[in-house]
Amino acid sequence: MRNNFDFSKRNGAGRGDIVLGVFALFLLYLLYSSGFFTAAAWQDFNRRFYQNFIKDRRYMMLVDGLKATLFMTSGATLIGLTVGLILSVIRVAYKGGAPIPVLNKLANTYITVLRGTPAMVQLLIWNFTIFASARNLNTQYIAILAFGLNSGAYVAEIFRGGIESIDPGQMEAARSLGLNYTDSMRFVILPQALKNVIPMLFNEFIAMLKETSVAGYIGIDDLTRAGQNIQALTLEHSQPLVMVAIIYLVIVLFLTHLVRKLEEWLSRGRR
Amino acid sequence: MAVIEVKDLHKTFIRQDGRILNVLNGISTEINKGEKIAVIGPSGSGKSTFLRCLNQMEEPTKGTVIFNGEDITAPGCDINRVRRKMGMVFQHFHLFPHLTVRKNLILSPVRHKLMTPDEAEVKAQELLARVGLADKIDEWPDRLSGGQKQRVAIARALAMNPEVLLFDEPTSALDPEMIGEVLDVMKELADSGMTMYLVTHEMGFAHKIADRVLFIDNGIISEQGTPDEVFDNPQKPRTKEFLSKVLHR
């Protein structure tokens, strides 16, 4: 799963770079012709930047929002991994002949329902129906539960795919050496399956980071909502949300970079 | 004395569409200590299924397999213990790609406490030298050629000190120029007195090393004998037809 987008190793500019360059020049021209680079415009930009982010330490609203976003993402991912692992083991074991038809049916239903409905609808149901009377509960925990259980259904499919992607011959070879089923799983199948799915689990984390942006709907001041809160204070329509988008993008790019490094590290020893 | 004794082995597969497939229709034979048996036959004749029934990779529908006097098809039999004495070499090698060659060889002996890690290490070096790959001990399987992989797979099977080695078409997935190096290793093994059961399409090699050749067709042993008898003077029309096709004569 090597990526083909490693610009650092490419010699010279490709066609994509030229298109991007032309596009950037065009944007610059537009900005220039609309007076963006005049001193007055620059002063106006600075004034609004001050209003939105510096005055009354409003940047702290974004920082706190980011904390809430990262907290929810991490918590939900942990729940998702746990639930997903349990679900996938149930399904693989059932397929392998374990007598657990009821558990398997439950797992299948869980996965179908949670993958077949929007995460945001699930979030609203958790908050306004299931936990409607739990007023003292921190809504962030409700969000973690909702996003985590939702993610579990996807992670289950990732794990199951990972285990099933391993050549059945691997299990046969392990068994032919006298290893029992559990040992074969533990020493031969799962290490390979896990290695295959780690990048996908990271991607699930990245998707979750963006997914939590709807948490504002149940009154959580996450990063997105923090941007809206600043908007409400300053009546400023663009800067806060663009800033929020930039913050998301920087984090996603950083995590994506980590996944690529991880993939390279994992594929060492492979041709 | 017979190491493996097979009595009236049947295997029936029930396919997903409900059709019943009779793959083995009553096979009885014995494999004696030190004997080399080559199994030939058309594809789909049941020769690989028969081999896989010997170490219970497939559960026979009917019949018994007796290994060193013990009925290993009996319900209470600890098949994992039996398999440690019956090495298996696969058509597609099935090395463990997440482990180095060294760890491929020592995983099972150490896990089963047949050897200490140090003993297993020494044994691994010795076996790799024997198959001509002493310098590959720290290599990853994916960096080896097909022939090298199969030689490592043979060494991995040998690491358990098996009494019998089962070869399931060990050269069928190899590029032609790599077949020789694997056959050389197998020849050396045969000369050293190993008991071998070999399913193969390499008729020349079967002729050279086998004590007995089985021709399996439609799930039964339709003809057997010494290589000279089966290859040079086949009795059944089906055997003649098969040999004329594979030997182009």
pLDDT tens digits along A182-197: 899 889 998 899 888 9
Residue B44 pLDDT greater than 70, yes or no: yes
Residue A42: pLDDT band with limits 50, 70, 90: confident
Q: Does A48 touch chain B (CB under 8 A)?
A: no
Neighbours of A208 (CB within 10 A): 23
**Backbone conformation region of residue B100, classed left if phi is above 0, alpha if psi is from -120 to 50, else beta:** beta
Average pLDDT in the A102-108 region?
95
Residues 6 or more apart from A146 whose CB is under 8 A from it? Answer: A76, A119, A122, A123, A126, A127
Q: Does A177 touch chain B (CB under 8 A)?
A: yes
Predicted local confidence at residue A1, as pLDDT? 39
**CA A117/CA A112 separation, integer angstroms:** 9
Residue of B nearest to A184 (CA): B108
- Per-residue pLDDT tens over the stretch A229-240: 999 999 987 888
Average pLDDT in the A87-93 region?
88
CATH number for the segment(s) A57-270: 1.10.3720.10
Residue B108: list chain A partners with CB under 8 A: 177-179
Residue B30 pLDDT greater than 50, yes or no: yes
Q: Give the position of tokens 């399409």.
A: B201
**CA A8/CA A14 separation, integer angstroms:** 12
Q: What are phi and psi of B30, to 5 degrees?
A: -130, 150
Residue A24 pLDDT greater than 90, yes or no: no
Could you write out the DSSP letters of every residue in A151-214? HHHHHHHHHHHHHHTS-HHHHHHHHHTT--HHHHIIIIIHHHHHHHHHHHHHHHHHHHHHHGGG
B16/chain A closest Cα distance in angstroms: 14
Beta bridge partners of B71: B66
**CA A8/CA B187 separation, integer angstroms:** 51
Average pLDDT of chain B to the nearest whole number: 92
A270/chain B closest Cα distance in angstroms: 6
- Radius of gyration of the CA atoms of chain A, in A: 24
Q: Does A182 touch chain B (CB under 8 A)?
A: no
Average pLDDT in the B137-165 region?
94
SS3 assignment, position A175 = helix
Torsion of CA B38, B43, B45, B51, to 10 degrees: 50
Average pLDDT in the B142-161 region?
94
User: Which contacts (CB < 8 Å, 24+ apart) does range B129-136 have?
Assistant: B130/B155, B130/B158, B130/B185, B130/B188, B131/B155, B131/B185, B132/B181, B132/B185, B133/B101, B136/B101
Residue A5 pLDDT greater than 60, yes or no: no
Residue A114: pLDDT band with limits 50, 70, 90: very high
Beta bridge partners of B37: B197, B212
Q: Which two tokens stand for residue A80?
A: 């998702």
**CA A266/CA B1 separation, integer angstroms:** 50
Residue B189 pLDDT greater than 50, yes or no: yes
Predicted local confidence at residue B249, as pLDDT? 60
Predicted local confidence at residue B246, as pLDDT? 85
Average pLDDT in the A101-129 region?
94
Neighbours of A12 (CB within 10 A): 5
Predicted local confidence at residue A12, as pLDDT? 55
Residue to test with chain B: of A175, A177, A190, most B Cβ within 10 A: A177
- Contact (Cβ atoms closer than 8 angstroms) between residue B42 and residue B32: no
Q: Does A241 touch chain B (CB under 8 A)?
A: no
Sign of the dihedral through C-alpha A185, A186, A191, A196: positive
**CA B241/CA B216 separation, integer angstroms:** 13
Report the candidate in A53, A67, A3 with the shortest Cα–Cα distance to residue A251: A67
Predicted local confidence at residue B95, as pLDDT? 96
Which stretch of DSSP H or E encloses residue B9? strand B2-14
Predicted local confidence at residue B146, as pLDDT? 93
Beta bridge partners of B38: B198, B213
Predicted local confidence at residue A10, as pLDDT? 47
Neighbours of A5 (CB within 10 A): 9
Predicted local confidence at residue A269, as pLDDT? 55
SS3 assignment, position B21 = strand
- Sketch the domain layout of chain A as residue ranges: 57-270
Q: Which two tokens stand for residue A35?
A: 């007076």
Residue B74 per-residue DSSP state? S
**CA B111/CA B37 separation, integer angstroms:** 31
Cβ under 8 Å to B: A residues 157-176? 167, 169-170, 172-176
CB pairs under 8 A between A and B: 65
